[in-house]
């Protein structure tokens, strides 16, 4: 052992199959594991949304086979209102925690953050492995809720107390299912905290020579900022979930008020406050939406710059804006609680920073659009999805200005307007970031290229489909269509049923279009065109090593970085770009101070 070079001795490649691919400490394997978990979760989540959309448009539809999943929730395959809420809860929980947090942050972040800063692995490989396996346990606990006696939880992904806290008397899914939800999310928090610790220390401590903070690619910056947000946000959700578990199984009443009557029974709990749950949850919950969107913003910036072959108007301003988004995300949680009976003065105090936080978001968007203006864009599936991200982020963001104001929010809060808003701006936009990242990095991760034609087809179907689904939501909301109802028969909302049918058909088609992506992913993994080292003519460090990268990324050495991350649009020996680790002297075309 002693005569081996230090770097190799520290981190020898695993030999057995189990250590190599299952309990691996290699950040690349862990990244792929997170990605795979997110893929499983996203297709389950999508299937659940299909069931909901089918039921909303055709309330009496018999869905064959559904009674096998839940005989009480869907007798004869017709979804009961309670089971509808369960589907919605599981859809939201899966999508927010196991897809939007796992894929863009933990998945791509694990795989590419160490490579982009020139490190051979994360700072704490074992913590890294633990964080994935803890997350997988959380996923299994959540999934087991489908198969317990009284069905999966139905309190929504926000699990509002007191219904989530009083136990089985509150409804069919509020027994064991809700307990499993709280335990699952508590476990998930531990995994994310471990991951965040690792991301931050890796970024700060393992940057290779020349990789100053300002020379880190924007994707790395986004993952770094996200992990700073996550470190504090999940630290609040963890005790909140533990208190919820205590309320449910130990008889405490943190979140249950006195003399609460549920199902004609006076609850034995007393003295707690449902609002306390809302405060604790949203103190985590609002930063969480930035945990979902900031990595996507970083990935999109990284890809756009490569496709338009010129640097962004300002690298620094994007970074500062992302940092201020991260900071401000902690000051706005009350805007989710305008309808909770909050004092109008408090509401104003939350409304104001909510409007302020749109400023850095707008600055970043304008930088993207301004940089795009007049550029010779290379149209690829990845760049199309990056453009789609901007479009969805703007469309969904604009309704945020309305919802930030308490007087308007009170009318719109419990309607489909809010559902449309967050699906566009956070859900689908972040998913587009994941898609863009997948098409862009797939050659590096698997050594093969995805089919561009299928990718573009997938983009257009998904892009048009997403608008067809979520734009009408805003109209429904303005028309007063309440959310979380399982059907709109025999009431004043029936005239809106055709809109629901349109949305459901669009959702089915858009969902089916995702099978193209799945096919492309699986086919390209085994039969795709072999990828070269740098197929996109990109500049960052991940493209300076073979595809797929060897075990310790840089062959036991550390690269030396000479340039800013995005040296595109300049005359050099390689073409119109210079890689970060190329010692070539260059003259930047743009005399841009922000890039020095």
Partner 1 sequence: MSEADLTMGTHVPGALEQSPFAIPSKKLVMWLFIASDAITFAALLFAYGFLRNATPDWPRPFNFSPSIINVMLMTFVLISSSLTMLIGVRMAQAGNKSGAFRWIFITAAAGILFALLHLREWLGLIAEGVRLFQNPWGAGTFGAAFFSITGLHLTHVVGGVVAMVVVGLRYRRGRYNADDIEILGLYWHFVDMVWMFVVPLVYLLNVKQ
Interacting residues toward partner 1 by CB under 8 A: 6-7, 9-11, 25, 119-126, 193, 196-198, 200-201, 204-213, 231-232, 234-236, 238-240, 242-243, 246, 250-254, 268-273, 275-276, 279-280, 283, 558
Using the minimum distance from each CB to partner 1, give the nearer residue, 240 or 382.
240
Instruction: Name beta bridge partners: 266.
Output: 261
CA–CA distance, 517 with 514 (Å, rounded to integer): 5
The answer to whether 131 and 195 are in contact (CB under 8 A) is yes
φ/ψ (deg, to 5) at 316: -65, -45
In the numeric block, the tokens 């049918």 are attached to: 501
Which residue, 255 or 416, is less far from partner 1 as judged by CB? 255
Residues 556 and 554: their CA atoms lie apart, in Å, by 6
Distance CA 138, CA 157 (A): 15
Distance between CA atoms of residues 122 and 200, nearest Å:
10
Alpha carbons 230 and 238: distance in angstroms, whole number: 12
Cβ closest to partner 1, residue 38 vs residue 194: 194
In three-state secondary structure terms, 575 is strand
Report CA torsion sign: 124, 127, 131, 132.
positive
- CB of residue 6 to partner 1, shortest distance in Å: 6
**Least spacing, CB of residue 595 vs partner 1, in Å:** 18
Quote the least distance from Cβ 370 to partner 1, whole Å: 31
Pick 37 or 256: Cβ nearer partner 1: 256
Alpha-carbon distance 441 to 437, whole Å? 6
* Residue closer to partner 1 (CB basis): 214 or 468: 214
Q: Provide the β-strand partners of residue 530.
A: 448
- What's the min distance (Å) between Cβ of 336 and partner 1? 17
Nearer to partner 1, 136 or 275 (CB): 275
- Tell me whether residue 265 or residue 494 sits nearer to partner 1 (CB atom): 265
Q: How far is the CB of 396 from partner 1 (least distance, A)?
A: 29
Q: What is the DSSP letter of 265?
A: E
Compute the chain's Rg from CA coordinates.
24
Q: CB 332 → partner 1: shortest distance, Å? A: 17
529, β-bridge pairs: 449
Helix (H) or strand (E) holding 570: strand 568-572
CA-wise closest residue to 291 among 373, 228, 216, 338: 228
Min separation Cβ 590 and partner 1, Å:
25
In the structure encoding, which two tokens stand for residue 146, read together?
């489908």
Shortest approach of partner 1 to residue 246 CB, angstroms? 7
- What minimum distance in Å lies between the beta carbon of 252 and partner 1? 4
User: For residue 12, which of 32, 199, 24 has the smallest C-alpha distance?
Assistant: 24
Q: Which is nearer to partner 1, 342 or 469 (CB)?
A: 342
Q: How is residue 79 annotated by DSSP?
A: P
Q: Tell me how far apart the alpha carbons of residues 435 and 412 are, in angstroms, rounded to a whole number.
A: 31
Beta-strand relationship, 261-262 and 265-266: antiparallel
Q: Which residue has the tokens 């052992």?
A: 1
Distance in Å, CB of 280 to partner 1, minimum: 6
Cα angle: 271, vertex 275, 279; to 5 degrees: 130
User: 200 or 313, CB closer to partner 1?
Assistant: 200
Question: CB 183 → partner 1: shortest distance, Å?
Answer: 16
The residue among 67 and 201 lying less far from partner 1, judged by its C-beta, is 201
Max CA separation in the chain (angstroms) = 81
Q: Which is nearer to partner 1, 6 or 60 (CB)?
A: 6
- Burial of 510 per CB tally in 10 Å (0-12, 13-18, 19+): buried
> What's the burial of 526, exposed, middle or buried (CB within 10 Å: 0-12/13-18/19+)?
exposed
Task: Give residue 200's Cα distance to chain centre.
Answer: 19
**Does residue 59 sit in helix, strand or coil?**
coil
Instruction: Retrieve residue 434's tokens.
Output: 């994941």
Q: How far is the CB of 293 from partner 1 (least distance, A)?
A: 22
Nearer to partner 1, 194 or 428 (CB): 194
Closest CB 31 distance from partner 1, rounded Å = 16
Helix ranges (DSSP H) in 479-548? 497-527
Residue with smaller CB distance to partner 1, 250 or 261: 250
């Amino acid at each position: 052992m002693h005569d081996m070079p230090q770097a190799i001795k520290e981190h020898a490649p695993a030999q057995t199959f189990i250590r190599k691919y299952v309990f691996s400490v290699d950040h690349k394997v862990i990244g792929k594991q997170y990605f795979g978990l997110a893929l499983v979760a996203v297709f389950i989540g999508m299937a659940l949304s299909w069931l909901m959309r089918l039921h909303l448009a055709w309330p009496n539809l018999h869905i064959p086979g559904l009674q096998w999943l839940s005989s009480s929730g869907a007798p004869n395959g017709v979804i009961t209102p309670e089971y509808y809420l369960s589907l919605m809860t599981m859809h939201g929980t899966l999508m927010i925690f196991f897809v939007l947090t796992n894929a863009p942050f933990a998945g791509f972040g694990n795989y590419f953050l160490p490579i982009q800063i020139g490190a051979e692995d994360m700072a704490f490989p074992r913590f890294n492995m633990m964080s994935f396996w803890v997350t997988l346990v959380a996923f299994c606990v959540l999934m087991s809720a489908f198969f317990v006696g009284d069905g999966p939880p139905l309190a929504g992904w926000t699990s509002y107390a007191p219904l989530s806290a009083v136990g089985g008397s509150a409804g069919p899914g509020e027994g064991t299912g809700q307990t499993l939800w709280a335990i699952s999310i508590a476990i998930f928090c531990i995994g994310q905290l471990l991951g965040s610790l690792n991301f931050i220390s890796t970024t700060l401590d393992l940057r290779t020579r020349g990789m100053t903070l300002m020379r880190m690619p924007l994707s790395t910056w986004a993952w770094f900022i996200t992990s700073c947000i996550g470190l504090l946000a999940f630290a609040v959700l963890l005790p909140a979930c533990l208190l919820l578990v205590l309320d449910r199984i130990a008889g405490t009443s943190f979140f249950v008020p006195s003399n609460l009557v549920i199902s004609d029974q006076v609850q034995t709990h007393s003295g707690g406050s449902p609002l306390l749950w809302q405060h604790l949850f949203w103190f985590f919950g609002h930063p969480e939406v930035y945990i979902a969107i900031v990595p996507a913003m970083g990935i999109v910036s990284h890809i756009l710059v490569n496709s338009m072959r010129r640097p962004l108007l300002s690298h620094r301003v994007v970074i500062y804006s992302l940092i201020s988004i991260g900071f401000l995300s902690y000051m706005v949680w009350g805007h989710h609680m305008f309808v909770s009976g909050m004092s109008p003065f408090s509401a104003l105090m939350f409304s104001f920073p909510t409007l302020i936080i749109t400023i850095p978001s707008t600055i970043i968007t304008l930088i993207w659009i301004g940089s795009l203006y007049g550029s010779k864009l290379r149209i690829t599936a990845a760049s199309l999805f990056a453009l789609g991200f901007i479009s969805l982020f703007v469309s969904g963001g604009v309704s945020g200005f309305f919802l930030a104001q308490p007087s308007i929010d009170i009318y719109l809060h419990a309607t489909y307007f809010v559902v449309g808003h967050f699906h566009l701006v956070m859900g689908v936009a972040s998913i587009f970031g994941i898609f863009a990242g997948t098409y862009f990095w797939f050659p590096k991760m698997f050594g093969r290229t995805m089919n561009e034609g299928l990718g573009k087809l997938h983009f257009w179907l998904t892009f048009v489909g997403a608008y067809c689904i979520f734009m009408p939501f805003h109209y429904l909301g303005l028309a007063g269509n309440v959310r979380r109802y399982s059907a709109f028969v025999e009431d004043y909302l029936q005239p809106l049923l055709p809109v629901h049918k349109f949305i459901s058909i669009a959702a089915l088609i858009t969902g089916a279009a995702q099978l193209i992506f799945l096919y492309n992913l699986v086919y390209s993994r085994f039969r795709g065109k072999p990828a070269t080292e740098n197929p996109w003519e990109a500049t960052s460090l991940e493209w300076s090593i073979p595809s797929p990268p060897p075990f310790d990324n840089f062959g036991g050495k550390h690269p030396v970085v000479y340039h800013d991350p995005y040296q595109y649009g300049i005359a050099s020996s390689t073409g119109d770009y210079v890689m970060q680790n190329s010692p070539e002297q260059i003259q930047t075309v743009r005399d841009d101070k922000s890039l020095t």
